[in-house]
Structure 1
Amino acid sequence: MINEHDSIDWSSMSHAYGPASDVPAWLREMAAADSNVRDKTLGHFYSAAHHQGDVYACTTASLPFLFALADDPAAPDRASIVELLLSIGRESVDRDDDGIRFAPDGTISTACADSAAVMRDHADAFVSYAADPDPGVRRAACGVRRSRAWVSSSTTPSARSDNRTPAGSRPSRACSVTLQPRAEP
């Protein structure tokens, strides 16, 4: 999947600092063996394609590739990818308030709504991450409890950390996930 990103016209999209033509290289480098390269690349992605929590069309276009990385047991540092996905999901839902959003170029943007829809389509992946053999991925998946709004199925994953931590920080122990009926609004 990661090699398919060349079929997307990234230069037609933008992020916080201009054309998103650099996003495919960042997606490739997120799978690099060198942890320094991965850390630098995640920093670039957060800084530009998810700048201050913003969600751009290039952020939405990145989601299938980010899910492919998070789903690949051979990919290094999957926990960081799961955390990035949770951040994108949380911000997409928080900002998808049916209000009009504008991209940096002044055009109307549907990136939040589009990203929220992708996250809803992949909600079950977070249940799998919470049961992953990698304890880092399991801890990262506990963030689901803060991002439940984008789960839209008949069941809702409920994650609870063994030791409660402030929002946005990593729990230091494993968490458990159970499926509970979704409360009706």
Structure 2
Amino acid sequence: MYARNPNIAVSAKVGSNHDHILRKDFHAIAAAVRDSQRPGTSRFRRADNPPATQLHSTTTDSKEYTTMSITLTDQDKTTLRTAAYGAVSLLTVTGSPHKAATEATIALCSATGLVGHVLASAKSRDIKLKGKSVAELADQVLPALTDAMTLLDKHDPAEADNFRTTINVAIEAATQARKGQPSPVMAEMTRKITEALDAA
């Protein structure tokens, strides 16, 4: 199909079948949605198409990332991205996974300020999410959310508030993707994410 349509490209190949892909390879789905939202992304561009015009670029090869008088190391950026996109992955496995992942990822990509620059410039290799179960994923993501709030508050409390707001908007977007009231599982995961943000 994608050989005949220049607007379709393979994002990733995973070993899971249709019945298990959302449970075992949710991180690949979230990465595909995230990359499809990035302006000028090359991952979804065929080789025979010219590159899209980018209005700006925030990618850097240096060990530190500086904007608005705040300097973040590569490890700091990894923590922020793992926390934010990891939270989306946790929400994705709690119900209405396709639409929840799409809406929540769009919310992250719509962030502004320092947080917005860091999240928008993320690539799949920048997000360290491993684990075959929700429990293993939560063991990484929940502490990362607390660490992200701590490091941002140290640099600029306003950016810490910005990060919290961004995650809350992503949660709301994922929740609204589900028709009716959030399931008990999603409500409990939302509580744990909020608790991790407040623990800083």
Give the structure-2-normalised TM-score: 0.28
| Bigger relative contact order, structure 1 or 2 (CA pairs below 8 A, ≥6 apart) | 2
Richer in strand (by share): 1
